[in-house]
Amino acid sequence: MKITRGWLAAIVIVCVILLDQLLKIWVKTNFFYGEEFVIAEWFRLYFIENNGMAFGMEFGSKLLLTWFRLIAVALFIYYIYRIKDKAFFQTGYLVCISLITAGALGNVIDCVFYGVIFDNPVPPFTATLFPESGGYGAWFHGRVVDMLYFPLVEWNWPEWIPYIGGDHFIFFQPIFNLADAALSVGVIVLILFYSKNFYAKEVEEEDKDDAQIMRFPKK
């Protein structure tokens, strides 16, 4: 049985969201805020939450940001629907758009629902899913759960360097989640390998013009 491109996009989105949410719920209900679990020196689970965008960045009003994400996700889903059957758009391009959509939607779910389905206990207690006392916030005001931490290398800057001398530096310092990872991979692969798809409309129009010229050559 051959999977259509529309179904492929749906499978990618559902799988990413499912894995992302399962990991977030597991971390949220088994780790207290700020708890760290060392898997390797360069890979750790470190539970934090943020109010903003990918990799813990924050931007403007929480409610405004959540609505912006919802609109963006809706536009991406509509875009996937429009291009899924168009041959010019490569399957890899469609997968990248699906990863970006899934990444955005994964964090939207946190923002919309987590404030009402989780409580917010003081460490060392962990959160409860669907607590009897209610959640820690309102609809659209949930916090995004992050846990993936890759401190690959670290060092102290020499004292003689202005401004940063003596500071401790860690690479890679941002803590993120699977949704962030899916979104970032989708964007990077899209730019590196599928950038020509951005100009699909112009290319299609040029191909149509060429076809017309071949069918009706000038005398």
DSSP string, 71-124: HHHHHHHHHHHHHTT-TTS-HHHHHHHHHHHHHHHHHHHHHHHHHHHB--PPTT
| Whole-number Å distance between alpha carbons of 48 and 59 | 18
Query: Which of the following is catalytic: 85, 110, 119, 146?
Result: 146
Whether 180 sits among the annotated catalytic residues: the reply is: yes
Q: What sign does the CA torsion over 90, 94, 97, 99 have? A: negative
Say whether 146 is catalytic.
yes
**Whole-angstrom distance, CA of residue 48 vs CA of residue 152:** 19
Name the catalytic one among 20, 119, 180, 210. 180
CA dist list (Å): 120 to 129, 172, 200, 206: 10, 28, 48, 57
Hey, CA dihedral for 161, 167, 172, 178, is it positive or negative? Answer: negative
Catalytic residues: 146, 180
